[in-house]
Amino acid sequence: MKTNLTTRQQNQKKLTSRNTEQQDTGSGYRYALRLLAGRDYTRSAILTKMAARDVAPSDAEQVVERLQQEGWLDDRRYAERFAAAAVSSGRFFGARLRQEMSRRGFEPAVVGEVLKEVFAEHDEPTAVRLILQNRYPQFSFSRADDREKRRVVGYLQRRGFGFSAIMQALRSDDE
């Protein structure tokens, strides 16, 4: 029985993907470029992906530094594009946008700067009105029952809008 386990373990070693083998700086750089060709990543996300590929931490740092110097990896640019897309689509706003950006690995300083710019460009009640027009075109706060009001307000709060901005937008639409 022991020979079967040993043979099975040997066969598994033979079937090991080349992607799980330790990579050097050059192959780590090519891997990171392939990732960035598909979409943007944060510095921390690239480091995490490279660690999963068994790239040595010192090699991964060198690769990330090189990518930043060459302009392939820029957390600030990615944060600006992510925030602008999230706000314009109505997907996230306010605290929820901050939470999503932190979850994606953006540095707190970058998040603060980018959100300050985004919120200066976008008025929260106006953004709420746009989402209401797109998502709930027939909704009228004064004619809706309590259940419908809770559903719409909950939807907007899950997107990160503040309660006062929601109520301001809902009441102004009825006037």
Are residues 79 and 64 part of one domain?
no
Six token digits for residue 46 = 């690239």
Query: Whole-angstrom Cα distance, residue 146 to residue 128?
Result: 19
**Amino acid (one-letter) located at 98:** R
- Domain containing 110 equals 75-121
Six token digits for residue 3 = 């020979």
Question: Which DSSP state fits 55?
Answer: B
Query: Whole-angstrom Cα distance, residue 59 to residue 23?
Result: 9
Q: Is 50 exceeded by the pLDDT of residue 16?
A: no
Domain boundary among 52, 70, 88: 70
pLDDT digits (tens, 9 = 90+) for 128-153: 888 888 888 888 888 989 999 999 99
Are residues 64 and 81 part of one domain?
no
Are residues 54 and 23 part of one domain?
yes
Are residues 37 and 83 part of one domain?
no
Are residues 55 and 23 part of one domain?
yes
**pLDDT higher at 63 or 23:** 63
Sign of the C-alpha dihedral computed for residues 86, 100, 166 and 131 taken in this order: positive
Are residues 97 and 49 part of one domain?
no
Average pLDDT over residues 88-117: 91
Are residues 65 and 15 part of one domain?
yes
Q: Is 90 exceeded by the pLDDT of residue 47?
A: yes
Are residues 146 and 130 part of one domain?
yes
**pLDDT reported for residue 171:** 83
**pLDDT reported for residue 6:** 57
Q: For the chain, what is the mean pLDDT?
A: 84
pLDDT band for 17, please (50, 70, 90 cuts).
Answer: very low
Domain boundary among 35, 52, 70: 70
**pLDDT reported for residue 150:** 93
Report how many domains make up the chain.
3
Contact criterion met (CB below 8 Å) for 31 and 53: yes
Are residues 164 and 149 part of one domain?
yes
**pLDDT reported for residue 5:** 53
Are residues 39 and 6 part of one domain?
yes
